[in-house]
Chain A
Amino acid sequence: MTLDDIVSAVKAAHDAAKQAPSGGSHAHLRIRGAGSKDFYGGLLAGDLLDVSGHRGIVAYEPTELYITAKCGTPLAEIEATLAEKGQMLAFEPPHFSGATAGGCVAAGLSGPRRQQAGAVRDFMLGVKLIDGTGQVLNFGGQVMKNVAGYDLSRLMAGSLGTLGVLAEVTLKVLPRPVAEQTLVFDMNEGEAISRLNQWGGQPLPISASFWHDGQLRLRLSGARAAVKAAQGKLGGTVAVDAEKHWISVREQTHPAFAGAILWRLALPSTAHSLGLDGLRAIEWGGALRWYAGELDAVRGAAARAGGHAVLYHAPESLRCREGAFAPLAPALLALHRRLKNAFDPGRILNPGRLYAEF
């Protein structure tokens, strides 16, 4: 599938939307790469726009620290290419089943290393976007610093394809750490939250943390000497299955993520235990917490703690009732609608994937 094919599909849908009577139903497009995150967000609606065929690495410059890939390029291919030069996508995105570059940015999901390196949006340098009218637009670029115009490429991270088809993305890459070591500690939830925040305030090379069922795993990454020194300072026991473990956390194949209903809570890292049943795991130094089960109180508890709860894994009926994402205040929702309208006036792209209202 070429860029022109995608443009034609979007233009056709846009034209159909223009001709449809106001308020009437018209063609919607459901953008899909590998479909590895079909479970995520609102309900899927519209004709399938399969962009998985628009694939391939367009440019990779190790000394410029960026890679540009077409949206359908599998992350596995990108990461293998980076690994040859000792580099990586530092936000450690999940692959699930064959995730692509475009889907990775659109969903905006980051993995364990997010606590040290930053999220997808922090690594967005540029995007080639097809807006809802079929125009091909380039925002950002391939350089590290660029403040010309509004930062619309970062805005795409987590927009779930509602603002445009991300035909091509440019991501900042980083060198892989020279050394890594994972330490294991036995401790309860409260102790883990408190220790993680204490350590976070010290110059320690902690690149990931994962608490589950009374056990905290801490990954150290950096210069050999720094990892060794931190290990001496922190204690704990050295994990033997570290690499496998962190892949299972990134891919959410770890038993902590099992179950039909899973909530993802982003919170201030210092938030005390929410006192809810069903806590399955804590990541990102205390800032990401996973809960299982049908929990009525979870959105309120997350909001009171200064964060928000995503209904991450759930049957369709529950997602319909609750919405995948925490509701927006009316003024903020109105602003979202106006932004959506700025990119996709016919509202043809991934309607309802982020919020039912647009």
Chain B
Amino acid sequence: MTNPEPVFATDRAALVARLRTILPAHCLLVGEEDLRPYECDGLTAYRQLPLAVCLPEAEGQVIDVLRTCHQLGVPVVARGAGTGLSGGAMPHAQGVVLSLARFNRILRVDREARLAVVQPGVRNLAVSEAAAPFGLYYAPDPSSQIACTLGGNVAENSGGVHCLKYGLTVHNVLRIRVVSIEGEVFEIGSEAPDAPGYDLLALMIGSEGMLGVVTEVTVKLVPKPELAQVVMASFDDVGKAGDAVAAIIAAGIIPAGLEMMDKPATAAVEPYVKAGYDLNAAAILLCESDGTPEEVAEEITRVTEVLTAAGASDIRVSQSEAERLRFWAGRKAAFPAVGRITPDYYCMDGTIPRKRVAEMLSSIAAMEKKYGLRCANVFHAGDGNLHPLIMYDASQSGDWERAEAFGAEILELSVALGGSITGEHGVGIEKINQMCVQYTTPELETFHRVKAAFDESGLLNPGKAVPSLHRCAEYGRMHVHHGELKFPELERF
């Protein structure tokens, strides 16, 4: 699956010669040693060296690079911090990587208008840090927020632990400046609440670098709540914990965050972070309330009542900011904590209706036996967004293939349960086959036509996000025999 189609006939020498005429030497990498760090993003199982990496410092250079690649018919893969988990920034073998890392300036923080104008290479957390003196912050907080960039957040429509109440990237971006593959600049959205014409902002956000390259982002800043408190509840049964999530929503409460971890996840986290989790619980819920002190007190009381009625075996409320952060520290460290107990892990990202959580977890338990691999589960439970962490050992022959098949089965079950193959990590190259399961041929054809409306020559991030119909036909053939595959270590394409 690692070789995205289609194949391009790039003349490397001619490409590099042209790039040298438009970029200064320090903005162009061509040596293999220099290219190596760009061979993958956060999904390290998929790697590919590009022909060159461009590191432009000004929008004019971005335009020149895109125009040149358009003229020469060379694929372009835009890249932020490379923290993505779906291989969306994995290079193309016949293409260039366009890194926006040097677009790292915050251009304006406007206190009165409650917005910030930033370059795409600015880190997510840096925006909130710059807004903090005004009592404001940028709400979407993906777990990689210390490293991931706004440009990447726009490409992936990133979420985070607070998006149930505060929304995704699409709800918090007001305007973007985009360069097309032909080098044309578009202003999409504005500082006004809407813009004339189609809502291209909604279309561009989450488009995985397939439609244009973002050179500037205007984000909404929101007032920092005066207080936040977390309720931590233990359950002796994952089904009960899932039902408790639905009960909170049914009670008319939209918590600032609502997260769930199962026993394997807490067991991995606790020795590492010492968050104080109940290790006897089958699952724990973390439910955050924020707002004015009066509001928080009222909501915490109601949440506690609901959780008690839902059968929580233990309930603790954070009594200080330090304790609140400690409760969260475990959840935020779940991925590295699992990374400590297994040589490798594979993070999935399906969404399902909240009421199907228990069903999904018992299916995952059955899959653990089927594939002979362990799995720890952390959830953005409020959004029904699950992150199963499949543990494997890449040095063991066949382990990765089994992990991949395990993950694919989880994603396909997500679709069957009425959900989606990706909640916030994107399709990238990783879930390209599962797109064939989620969408019909006419729907995929529509995606391709939309892509062509922006990028007729198909040069922006080719082979990602939307599968070709040919690939789906191949996958369909594969899929029929899926359960019967005798030699999972064999290459499938």
* Least Cβ–Cβ distance between B476 and chain A, in angstroms: 17
B292 within 8 A of A: yes
B37 within 8 A of A: no
Stretch at the interface among B10-18, B28-36, B347-355: B347-355
A146 to B380, CA, bound (A): 13
Cross-chain contact of A174 among B110, B254, B298, B426 (Cβ < 8 A): B254
A222 within 8 A of B: yes
A342 to B445, CA, bound (A): 10
Stretch at the interface among B63-71, B144-152, B200-208, B268-276: B200-208
* Least Cβ–Cβ distance between A99 and chain B, in angstroms: 18
Whether the Cβ atoms of A308 and B353 lie closer than 8 Å is no
Stretch at the interface among B74-82, B367-375, B396-404, B431-439: B431-439
Whether the Cβ atoms of B431 and A342 lie closer than 8 Å is no
Contacting residues of chain B (412-438) with chain A, CB-CB under 8 angstroms: 418-427, 431, 434-435, 438
A202 to B163, CA, bound (A): 20
B102 within 8 A of A: no
Cross-chain contact of A154 among B199, B247, B442, B447 (Cβ < 8 A): B199
Chain B positions 347 through 366: 1 when the CB is less than 8 Å from some CB of chain A, otherwise 0: 00001111100000000000
A59 to B36, CA, bound (A): 50
Using known A-B contacts A86-B252, A152-B450, determine if residue A202 contacts B193 with beta carbons closer than 8 Å.
Answer: no
Whether the Cβ atoms of A149 and B453 lie closer than 8 Å is no
- Chain B's closest residue to A140 (CB) is B420
Whether the Cβ atoms of B164 and A144 lie closer than 8 Å is yes
A228 to B452, CA, bound (A): 53
* Least Cβ–Cβ distance between B371 and chain A, in angstroms: 23
A146 to B424, CA, bound (A): 7
A278 to B386, CA, bound (A): 53
- Chain A's closest residue to B453 (CB) is A338
A253 within 8 A of B: no
- Chain A's closest residue to B290 (CB) is A203
Chain B positions 208 through 236: 1 when the CB is less than 8 Å from some CB of chain A, otherwise 0: 00110000000000011110000000000
Cross-chain contact of B199 among A158, A176, A328 (Cβ < 8 A): A158
Whether the Cβ atoms of A147 and B291 lie closer than 8 Å is no
Contacting residues of chain B (285-312) with chain A, CB-CB under 8 angstroms: 291-292, 294-295, 297-299
Instruction: For B419, list chain A residues within 8 Å (CB).
Output: 141, 143, 146
Chain A positions 85 through 109: 1 when the CB is less than 8 Å from some CB of chain B, otherwise 0: 1110000000000000000000010
Cross-chain contact of B202 among A85, A155, A198, A266 (Cβ < 8 A): A155
Whether the Cβ atoms of A268 and B114 lie closer than 8 Å is no
Chain A positions 147 through 160: 1 when the CB is less than 8 Å from some CB of chain B, otherwise 0: 11111101101110
A residues sitting closer than 8 Å to B (CB atoms) are 61-65, 85-87, 108, 114, 118-119, 121-122, 131, 135, 137-139, 141-152, 154-155, 157-159, 163, 174-176, 178, 197-198, 200-205, 222-226, 228-230, 266-270, 284, 287-288, 306-308, 310, 325-328, 331-332, 335-336, 338-339, 341-343, 354-355
B residues sitting closer than 8 Å to A (CB atoms) are 110-114, 134-136, 156-157, 159, 163-164, 167-168, 170-171, 184, 186, 190-200, 202-203, 205-207, 210-211, 223-226, 246-247, 249-250, 252-254, 291-292, 294-295, 297-299, 351-355, 380, 382-385, 418-427, 431, 434-435, 438-440, 442-443, 446-447, 449-454, 465-466
Q: For the A-B complex with A148-B427, A152-B203 known, give 5 more contacts whose Cβ atoms are closer than 8 Å.
A: A138-B440, A202-B135, A203-B224, A223-B299, A335-B200
